[in-house]
Amino acid sequence: MVLDHLGSRRVLLIAALGAAVIIGAFAAQNLASSTVYYLTPSEARDRKIPAGQTARLGGQIEAGTLRYDPATRDLRFVIGDGTARVAVIGSGAPPALLREGAGAVVEGTFAADGTFRATQVIAKHDEVYTAPTAGAPGNGTRGRSLRRGSPPPSRSAWSRSPPAR
């Protein structure tokens, strides 16, 4: 009946396309729920985020603003996007990659005075991979460390060539 009119190959193709659409929609929905969005300081200013509302801000840490006091675990810096800037106050040790001029994403709330009280600070790393250069420290040792002042091992000690036949 229907199979004879459309042909079994065409019905199979339509069923496969329908399954692909359903799988794609399911995957997109699951990926969207795990995506982390953040606002730039300009977007937060334009949206007039009220004090106490949880938000994520992302931008560059401005030069000369990063301060951390290990005794009190007080972390302070200014994050900006080239147009607007926001003072960030956090508590706890800063991430290892957090530095001035680098990108950061902070999660927390705005205070009534306009500062951002961070409950989480995430350092963003650049996505550019740079291959190690020959002769740079740490290259060519294959995981073994050298003591300062000691001569490097001979080339034959590091490179094992297959035995001659």
In contact, 79 and 100? CB cutoff 8 Å = no
The answer to whether residue 146 sits within a structural domain is no
Ranked by mean pLDDT, the top range of 94-98, 117-121, 126-130 is: 117-121
Instruction: Give the model's confidence band at 128: pLDDT under 50 very low, under 70 low, under 90 confident, else very high.
Output: low
Instruction: Please tell me whether residues 63 and 27 are part of one structural domain.
Output: no
Instruction: Please tell me whether residues 49 and 118 are part of one structural domain.
Output: yes
Tokens 């977007």, located at residue:
43
Instruction: Please tell me whether residues 10 and 70 are part of one structural domain.
Output: no
Q: Which among 29, 33, 49 has a CA at the least distance from the CA of 41?
A: 49
Instruction: Please tell me whether residues 61 and 11 are part of one structural domain.
Output: no
CATH of the domain at 74: 2.40.50.140
Number of domains in the chain: 2
Question: Which position has the higher pLDDT, 5 or 105?
Answer: 105
- Domain range enclosing 15: 2-34
- Beta-carbon count within 10 A of 80 CB: 17
The mean-pLDDT minimum among 45-54, 85-94, 143-152 falls in: 143-152
